[in-house]
Chains A and B, each alone.
Chain A
Amino acid sequence: MSEGHACGCDHCEELMQPYVDRVLTAEEHAEAERHLEGCSYCADRYRFEAELRIYVRDACCEEMSPELKARLVALKLPEA
């Protein structure tokens, strides 16, 4: 599977980011779905892309400290 581009479909590779972002037109989306059903090479890579997005988001999430939260609350304007 790893040698070469099994389906030779560069177009499918170009559709991957907008597919995962859900910004393809209905027609393009259907085209990608049809291709993915029959092509495990592309399907593996699409799955990876979607998983990577989640992975990046989780890895980059850092919670704020309770001290900062308290400082923000203290910034509230005094009651008129």
Chain B
Amino acid sequence: MARVAESTSESEPRELAIEARNRVRFEEEALELADQVYRVARRLVSTREEAEDLVQETYARAFRSWRSYTPGTNMRAWLLRILTNLNIDKGRRQQRTPDEQPLEEGDYFLYNRMEQAGGASETERVVERLSRDDIVGAMSAVPEDFRDVIVLVDIGDFTYADAAQILDIPIGTVMSRLHRGRRILKRELAERVGDHHE
């Protein structure tokens, strides 16, 4: 018995040192991802202040529960999972707002609309006629359930599988929301492009 007690008292400080080192490594890795986490957060919510609060709370929670992160797995996805859950908990999100408007136009619709609107010189690309405000405004007009998926995949560079895990929805739902969400985004962009030319 005495030997056991002795070995425990000897190994404890070493274990504590290892744990402290792992924690510091975790914190450093998490902080390196902060820019990327913020970029996604900023488009998931309406204002800069909301995004900042959300990121700060995410990091506070992540640092407290760092032991539940499995080393070697995707930490960025793990952080975003915390962030999206916090966002839902805050009740900031409106009721589910499925976009019921028909989207019969195909995927070529926006290009066709912009090409018809004309005004491009030979050297200007059609896409260059969209301003930053057009894009940011159109993105925020996309209903949240669809926007979440576009933001994670198209801005956050997450795979369909990661987005499914972060949002806790099936991968098939990620794909269908992405497809429909991008169409909604294009419809919103088309409306803004139309406004410039009226």
Contacts and interface: CB of A to CB of B under 8 A. Distances in A.
A10 B155 CA distance: 28
A14 B43 contact: no
Interface in A1-24: 1-2, 5, 10, 13-14, 16-17, 23
Given A56-B185, A62-B42, A44 B20 contact: no
Interface of B: 16, 19-20, 23, 27, 31, 34-35, 38-39, 42-43, 48, 52, 55-56, 59-60, 63-64, 106-108, 110-112, 115-116, 125-127, 130, 132, 135-136, 139, 151, 154-155, 160, 178-179, 182, 185
Contact of A44 (B19, B48, B52, B111): B111
Interface of A: 1-2, 5, 10, 13-14, 16-17, 23, 44-45, 48-49, 51-53, 55-57, 59-65, 68-69, 71-73, 75-77, 79-80
Nearest to A63: B35
16 contacts: A5-B108, A10-B106, A16-B107, A51-B127, A56-B135, A59-B135, A60-B155, A62-B38, A62-B48, A64-B34, A64-B38, A68-B38, A68-B56, A75-B63, A76-B27, A77-B23
Nearest to A73: B31
Dominant SS among interface residues on chain B: helix
Contacts of B130: 52, 55, 59
